[in-house]
Amino acid sequence: MWSLSSLFTAFSVVFWVLNYKNIPLTPSEEVGNVFRVRTYTTRSPAMECDLNGHKSNSTYFSDLDIARTDLMVDVFRKLILDLKKRDGRWVYIPLGAVASVFRREIKPYASYNIRSKIVGWDDKWLFVVSKFESPQTKKLHAISVTKYVFKMGRKTLPIREALERNGTWSPEIERQGREGMKWVQGIVDLDQIEEMPF
Ligand SMILES: *[C@@H]1O[C@H](CO)[C@@H](O)[C@H](O)[C@H]1NC(C)=O
Ligand SMILES: *[C@@H]1O[C@H](CO)[C@@H](O)[C@H](O)[C@H]1NC(C)=O
C-alpha cells in the first residue's frame, strides 16, 4: 500500500528539486516555529488551462505537492536528515487524504501564492492547510487540507516523536496542535466513507 505513495513522494521530491518554478521562495517567517507559514509563488501557464479558459482544477494538486513538500522539508529538516544518517534510508511522509474547496477561478498567466502551514495533529496524523491566494487582492481561490503520516519502514512515527526528534516539542506546542484539530474535523470525518456499502 505504501509503495505507490512512497514512489509518489520520491517523485514529488525529485519534481520539486528539478522543476523549481518558483519566483521567489520566501524565507520562513520564524525559524523554529512549528506553525510557521511557507509561501510558494507561481503562475498558471496556458498549458494548465482547460476549455473554460481558466486553470484546470486538477492542476491545483501538482502545485500543492510542491508547496506542502517545501513546508514539510523546511519544518522537519532535522528529523529527515538525522533519520537518514541513523538508518540509511529516508523517512516516508505519505499522504493519507487530501480535500479541497474551489472558490474562484485562476486566469491564464495569473500569478498566485500558495501559503501552507501545519494546523494540528493527533497521535498519528498531521494536518497541513494550504491557501491559494491572489498576491494583489488577497482573494482566496482555493483552500486544501492534507493529512500526513510519518513512516519508518512499516513503523509509524508518532507526531510527538517527530517533533521531539526535530528538537521542537513542548506541552504548549502539543496543546496548540491538538486545539488546531477543530479546523480539520471535516477531513477526519471523511474516513467514515469507507463504511458505505457500494
Ligand atoms: C527542525 O530542524 C530544522 C533544522 O535544524 C530547523 O531549521 C527547523 O526550524 C526545525 N523545526 C522546528 C519546527 O523547529
Ligand atoms: C473549478 O473550480 C471553479 C472555482 O474555482 C468552479 O467554478 C468550477 O466549476 C470548477 N470546475 C470543475 C470542472 O469542477
Chunked into runs of 10 residues, the chain (198 residues) has average pLDDT values of 52 48 45 90 86 88 94 96 93 94 92 97 98 95 97 95 96 97 94 93
Q: According to the model, what pLDDT value does residue 170 have?
A: 95
The torsion angles phi and psi of 156, rounded to 5 degrees, stand at -90, 130
Written as nine digits, the cell of 20 is 523549481
Q: Pinpoint the alpha helices (H) of the chain.
A: 2-18, 60-75, 77-87, 159-165, 171-180, 185-189
Nearest ligand to the CA of 100 is 2
Query: What does each C-alpha distance from 165 to 38, 51, 117 come to in angstroms?
Result: 21, 48, 19
Q: According to the model, what pLDDT value does residue 162 have?
A: 97
* Cβ pair 36, 29 in contact under 8 A: yes
pTM for the whole structure = 0.84
Q: Which atom of ligand 1 is nearest to the CA of 28?
A: 9
Query: 23 C-alpha to center of ligand 2: Å?
Result: 26
Q: Under DSSP, is residue 69 helix (H, G, I), strand (E, B) or coil?
A: helix
Q: According to the model, what pLDDT value does residue 26 have?
A: 46
* Cβ pair 145, 182 in contact under 8 A: no
**104 touches ligand 2 (CB under 6 Å):** yes
The torsion angles phi and psi of 111, rounded to 5 degrees, stand at -95, 155
Q: According to the model, what pLDDT value does residue 12 have?
A: 55
* Cβ pair 71, 38 in contact under 8 A: yes
